[in-house]
Amino acid sequence: MPEYRKDPITNRWVIIASERSNRPMDKVVSTVSKKEFCPFDSGNEHLTPPEILAFRPENSKPNDENWWLRVVPNKFPAVTQDTLPKLIKNGIYFSIEGYGYHEVIIETPEHNSTIAYMSNFEVEEIIWAYLQRFNEIKKDKKIKYVQIFKNYGRNAGASLSHPHSQLIATPIIPIFIEEELKGAKTYFNIKKRCIFCSIIQQEKEEKVRIIEENDSFISFEPFAPRFPYETWIIPKEHSSNFGDLNTKLVKNFAKILKTTLLRLNILLGDIPYNYMIHTSPFDNIENHFYHWHLEIIPRLTNAAGFEWGSGFFINSVSPENAAQNLKSLEEGLL
């Protein structure tokens, strides 16, 4: 029987309708393009703008080919530092000039690698790169938010198949973050507690949507997921600021990110997905009501007219079933 479910943070409703998994053509196959002429490969450093950050041996030079991770400006940026975030008013319309950062984290020189199959060290290095750029950009007082995200596979929006993530830093707090903050503040004002901490507690009691747990993190299917197999990873201890991660947390975050993506890969194949990190904005980064986390959305289905028209999502897989499937994979496979 289908169900409407309300995300307790944003008050966004979704419809859980398992029956729809029977309908024809709900799946879209990923088509990651083959290696051809890749600007992210080792030896092709001249094809990217000069690097902003790189993890490389001490004796190597910037932009030469000895590296195991590079961060470069996006060659086709959505926003740049060539302007200032000036507000422009025109009648009822407002605009702000497109000041910001748009960077690419080249995760490895290995063209055909993917996080699910990387070593723990490699994934940790990716997290360290996120952290370093996040905390560096935080010093720019014009920036309010840094969205770190990954597009994997062409149907998830990746134009290049070489393993990479991106970040876009903006002088505006994105609406989804605003919505989460608003919901979290409202809850905190009533309950004197972080809503994410309450979710973690209830999930640990119910045990039907948790996939995996380590010392510092759990991965679970949210109660009201927009997409089949939407999966969140969240620190168990309250923490509003992604930039606060220490060495132990980086290790445990890298580990659960890798195994969660591996579970999805084993169960569903080499599917396209996006993930994104949600954290408190810079202007109130340490607080008691918000809790940073990572959201993974496999791109098994396309949002269509109903979703784009209403903000209501039809999801053909219940989170309880998805969690059960992801959890029950044999330990030997992981």
Q: What is the set of active-site residues?
A: 164
Point out which span in 46-54, 107-115, 198-206, 261-269 binds a second copy (CB under 8 A): 198-206
Residues 208-267 that bind a second copy (CB under 8 A): 223-224
Residues 149-168 that bind a second copy (CB under 8 A): 149-151, 154-159, 166, 168
Q: Does 15 bind a second copy (CB under 8 A)?
A: yes
Q: Of the ranges 109-117, 129-137, 243-251, 305-313, which one interacts with a second copy (CB under 8 A)? A: 305-313
End-to-end CA distance of the chain: 33
Q: What is the DSSP string of 7-61?
A: -TTT--EEEE-GGGGGSTT------PPPPSS-TTSTT-GGGSPPPSEEE--TTSP
CB of 105 to a second copy, least distance (A): 12
Which tokens is 246 given? 């220490």
- The span of 114-122, 132-140, 172-180, 211-219 binding a second copy (CB under 8 A) equals 172-180
Task: Enumerate residues 93-152 that contact a second copy by CB under 8 A.
Answer: 93-98, 145, 147, 149-151
Stretch near a second copy under the rule CB under 8 A, chosen from 45-53, 114-122, 250-258, 273-281: 273-281
Q: Are strands 231-235 and 210-213 parallel, antiparallel or unpaired?
A: unpaired
Which of 94, 331 has the CB closer to a second copy? 94
The minimum distance between CB 271 and a second copy, in angstroms, equals 14
Could you give the CA distance from residue 70 to residue 146 in angstroms, rounded to a whole number? 18
Q: Does 37 bind a second copy (CB under 8 A)?
A: no
Q: Which of 42, 63, 80, 81 binds a second copy (CB under 8 A)?
A: 80
Residues 185 and 191 sit within 8 Å (Cβ to Cβ): no
- 264 or 297: whose CB is closer to a second copy? 297
Size of the site for a second copy (CB under 8 A): 85
Q: How far apart are CA 270 and CA 90, in angstroms?
A: 47
314 counts as binding a second copy under rule CB under 8 A: yes
Interaction with a second copy in 40-79: which residues (CB under 8 A)? 75-79
Total residue length of the chain? 334
- From CA 220, how far away is CA 185, in angstroms rounded? 23
**100 contacts 80 by C-beta, under 8 angstroms:** yes
For residues 294 and 242, the answer to whether their CB atoms sit within 8 Å is: no
214 neighbors 120 (Cβ within 8 angstroms): no
